[in-house]
Structure 1
Amino acid sequence: MNALSINVQGFGDLNKRRWVSELCNKHKVNFLALQETKMLHVDLWMLRQVWGNTHFDFASMSSRGMSGGIICLWNNLVFKRTKIICNENYVVIEGMWIPNNVNIMWIMVYAPQTLPLKIVVWDALTNLISNWNGIVVAMGDFNEVREACERFGSSFNVRQADLFNSFISNASLKKLQNLKCAIRVWIAAYRSDSQKLKREHLLRLSSIDIKIDQGTANESDFSNRRDSIHILEELDKPPVFICNKLESLRNQFFIGSDLGEKKMTWVSWKKCLASKKSGGLGIGSIFGLNVGLLFKWIWRFLQNAPDLWIKVIKSFYGHHGGIFDVPTQRSSLSPWCGLGILEHCNIQHRQYNNNL
């Protein structure tokens, strides 16, 4: 049984959904709980995108404005729901875990801020748990700590902690104490292994470079050098979701939307033409930018003679394609004259003939 709970702090971003999907696939998650989705409506296509297939069921609670929102997804081949209870601050799902034939109650919590509302939530959940005959799995954002050492960046409230501890005790819940310790150990071991591996391959590269300088390196040395460089690049590579976020920011700047969105995209010329001080690219003239793009077609015309479109232009406007024609009337304009860009460039007819 693999369950994953995340406070996503908004689930509208495509890259964040991809990141969650990668976590589910990597850890073979059977049950996913998302808090603070900030979504009023749930899109089935979006859920399928996150889960990766159609073998899922879900329960959700809409957000209130830009706060709250819960989405629960699970593999319907291993868990069969029998009842769903939705509240503004929690979602409860009762059902059977098929592989072990046991009853399970899943509780997803996004706790309120104020103490009176927390007391109401704790009492309601305690009542539900006391009347349930089976396993209980509670997860989510409880917005509370049990000890002062767990509170960072804000003051520790003794009364709220006591009430939270009472709720855990009365509901006979057990906190997974070893989970955070296991994560810390894993991070420390991963960091230690990465540093050790990096030192080994840097030393290996250094010794191979000495052989190359001395002229004694063989084919095996070059192969080992390529392998070491590849491993070092992988060690220094940022996580996929960070790369996706950077790509999303770049796309938002240039075309005003994410490439994964199903909408037509346009180049954001205002940002391209704005000065660098104003956050733009500092391109002074949209005409100057377009000239560079349009001249690619003239270059293709000169270089790719066998192409069909070039043959069509030459059949209408002659061997030169009408590039240097001087228009006398509107009907005689060649496609190049219609673009109106050649008159601004220092291309001589003689040079063109020589190129041909």
Structure 2
Amino acid sequence: MLKILSWNVNGMGKESKRRWVKNAGQENKISFLCLQESKMVIQQDWQVASVWGGPQFQFAAIDPVGHSSGLITIWNDSLFQAQCVEKKEGFIAVMGSWLASKLTMGVINVYAPQDSKRKRLLWTELLGTLKKYSGVAWVICGDFNEVRTADERKGSNFDPMGEKFFNDLITSAGLSDIPLGGRKYTWMNRECSKLSKLDRFLRLSRKLRYLKRCIKEWRERASRDIKADCELLKLKIAAIDFLAESSSIDMSIVNERANLLVKLNDLVANQVSDLKQKAKSRWTAMGDENTSFFHGLLNSRRKSSRIHGLNINDDVFSGNGRGKKLNRVAWERVLSDKKSGGLGIGSLRALNLAMLAKCWWRERTQVQATWNAAVSLCNSLQFVSRNSRSRRTVWSNIKSIETDLGDIGININSLMINTPDRSGWSWLLEANNIFSVRSLRRLIDCVMLPSMEQETEWLKWIPSKANIHLWRTLNNRLATRDNLVKRGVTCSSDECSMCLVTMENLDHVFATCSTTKVINAHMASWVNWWPATENSVRDMWSVVCEYGDSCRREVGKDAIDDGHEDIMDDNKQFNDDNTMSSRSGEKRANIEIDAIRVMDTKAARSEHLILI
């Protein structure tokens, strides 16, 4: 017989309470011991043995948070072999095999929090665990801090919503409440003024679970039958309509069509009624949590509720003040290839055409393939929509790829030739003469997307976001005041905010501003470079491209060599002064700190050059 003892001990710091629990377990010969609110951190096995009272045991524990909570589950390993232990906030689930009957079962030790939101999250986690191990006979015990009916509380407030969610858990999981003997209430305060039934045992009822599965299967089977009947009635009505269009029909067929329409309307009405009933039951069960409808309302208003920018002292940030986001770079330029001055993302239109062209290529080159015969059959069919207008399908798009590419100036037939020996076709855009989506997509992007004079400078040794910022800088697409004014953004002044002399533009911010010149001079001195004297961003970038790589390598090497030499000199000085034992600890700490500072300074200088 399986005996389980569940006990909210409210702390196990006193030896008398541990002895009390041990004696109760030995007298009743229990197999499982579930303790709540242990308020004790389990560090060694002897702490558990002082409560269990025997050598044969295993345990799982959740340490308390502060001076509250804490769970301990102990079981006899000679009677129960654990296979899986799952610990989550508020419960410990132990699943295994009861050796006497070879029954796969599990015990869940629960201590629910006082907070209603955390308690509802605990119910959700419990339900997920029960569904995860659906074939296990579960026994759930512990302190649930919740009641099922109003008469289970006396002298305290009854929470109907908490009772509702707790009962929903028991119903949804197919649990049944095991009747308890002894007193009616399981908890009472010191003044004996408040009493509640908070502790209980729940078990998974196999009969209810089997009944629920049978009802679910019947509902799915009935739904399929109704859909099949509706489709059959629609086909019969369509056949009568087709017959009426081609010839005259007698009254018997007309009456038959009317009866079919009545049956179809009844089936549709039953489906609508079923949907209404589901909506009402879902609203009854979930209440305000049934938020799909409200989410739809909020999503429809998202565009009008979005904040497009901030207007602070007549300066607009992250928008143009007219409800439309400020675009700094044309999207077509972003999609362009790097050789054309873009970021090389590529357009979805080009990818779609290239993928259709791949199917067109297979149709041309694999004439005897089964796939080719299927495409030809699909193209021979006529697809007509409900409004009797023809619409294009995937198969017709494959057939019309020559026309679609011709509209943008690409003759796909000129990109493929038949080999001299007539053994197959060759694709001219690839060296291996095999068609590739990548090659055609690049060609389409080159034709459709704009091209700029200079290629995109992309450095592999800096992060991608730095490369994108560099690309925007070289293309004068930063949010300087002159660019904001060109895009209709109202600014209080177009002067530079650092020098307050000249209009703020890209070249002024990075090259000609007095504050910028001081910063550039300091950065040049860090890397042993002459101060920048260029008056435009393009000129500065040309100098960096010409001398940047060599200087970066030399400065990086010098930083490592200088740091190594400084550390060696400091260590030598420390060895000479090692005889001063009273100050040896302080001296070593100072030398290590100085050495770290030297290395940080050298590394910072090398990093500044990389950022330039």
TM-score by length of 2: 0.29
The structure whose Rg is larger is: 2
